[in-house]
Structure 1
């Protein structure tokens, strides 16, 4: 596990890249400092277009640093409440994880999906269609900000699918402010737009959340 992920406290504090981030997480390095509600207001609004989208255009679960653990495993190791045993070929056993979307504890890595907080299809719709394959790979394996990828129960991840906050929020109401903050942070980090319904949903959700400070290291 060679890469250190961004540190997140609550749902909207600075993403601090500890040590040297892998190239999959590299970017401009500029930092945007704002508040949740201001960030929502400042997101560019544009209609979405899924023309040409294929999941295969986002190469993911790579082993960026060559340590034998791919992106999925790196996230599981980083987010474990009780660290798992790491075996040959980065097989994970034991351990304990907390899926914050539904506040469910899991003791099996196989019971967890790694969710792209802003789904791959959603990123394509809102800007990634114009990226290079290398940029899409970096997005799909972003270990530079802990808000980009999260280990959650398979049930929640598959319920969400590729929906944005206008259509889906975590089943735990206590998780929703954190989720909105993470969604907005990822959109800022990668320079992605929001569609009008998404913008309205984020504004309504943010109005019911603490207007916490939000800092994001830009990836591009």
Structure 2
């Protein structure tokens, strides 16, 4: 996705405004069921850490990417369909976004929220409280791993800071992918789990067909 250059002829600028955003990389694919089960078994079970000192801004979410757009805008462009940009070349003006949590499609960009698969607060209580500021920023803006996804406002609000021990997507067809992705994020970032969370993730992995 490129920013509109200053000094372009009006006709060129108009084409930039109405053209669809160039295709970006697909969202990271979930690991196989076998890998997810291996990763889940290897997670360290530990008591949740204190939430003392926690604040969302300590993860510096939606920071600026190398192309000048924010992480949020990058996910909207990556995961949207028929996305068209505003003149700045970053913020979508229109498009549609699928929320797998509740099997709904959002057509108002303002209602297409970006969710952290492993909530920031959950990361904090499972190890991120000991990270450096750079590590937390990398986690909060992780485009490499399946950590950021589209969610409808209602689904995002329902999930809030809960992990799978206390919340599951209403779309049960997504349980397999949710469990794989959630487990993978915890494994990659070396976050701990609890017995309750581990049981919930294992149960949802049982819904996988492969």
- The TM-score bracket by the shorter chain reads 0.7 to 0.9
In the alignment, is residue 122 of structure 1 matched against residue 122 of structure 2? yes
1:12 corresponds in structure 2 to: 31
Q: Deviations over 1:154-188 (max 9, x none)?
A: 11001000001011011111111111111011111
Question: Secondary structure at the residue paired with 1:44?
Answer: coil
Question: Secondary structure at the residue paired with 1:95?
Answer: strand
Q: What is the CA distance between 1:91 and its match in structure 2?
A: 2.5
2:17 corresponds in structure 1 to: none
1:198 corresponds in structure 2 to: 197
Q: Which runs of 5+ in 1 are unaligned?
A: 14-32, 213-220
1:95-110 equivalence runs, <5 A: 95-110=95-110
Q: Deviations over 1:52-108 (max 9, x none)?
A: 21222111111121x331000000000012223243262211211111111111112
Distance 1:187 1:161, change over 3 A: same
Q: What is the CA distance between 1:7 and its match in structure 2?
A: 4.4
Distance 1:170 1:188 in 2: 21
Q: What is the CA distance between 1:46 and its match in structure 2?
A: 0.7
Question: Secondary structure at the residue paired with 2:81?
Answer: coil
**How many residues align structurally?**
188
Larger Rg: 2
RMSD: 2.0
Distance 2:169 2:60 in 1: 26
CA contact (8 A) 1:127 1:193 kept: yes
56-65 or 151-160, larger mean C-alpha shift: 56-65
Structure 1 residue runs of 4 or more that deviate by more than 6 Å after TM superposition: none
CA contact (8 A) 1:63 1:69 kept: yes
**Bigger relative contact order, structure 1 or 2, given CA contacts below 8 A and separation 6+?**
1
Distance 2:128 2:58 in 1: 10
Query: Normalising by the residue count of structure 1, what TM-score does the alignment of the two structures yield?
Result: 0.79
Question: Secondary structure at the residue paired with 1:81?
Answer: strand
Question: Secondary structure at the residue paired with 2:64?
Answer: coil
Question: Secondary structure at the residue paired with 2:98?
Answer: strand
Q: What is the CA distance between 1:35 and its match in structure 2?
A: 2.0
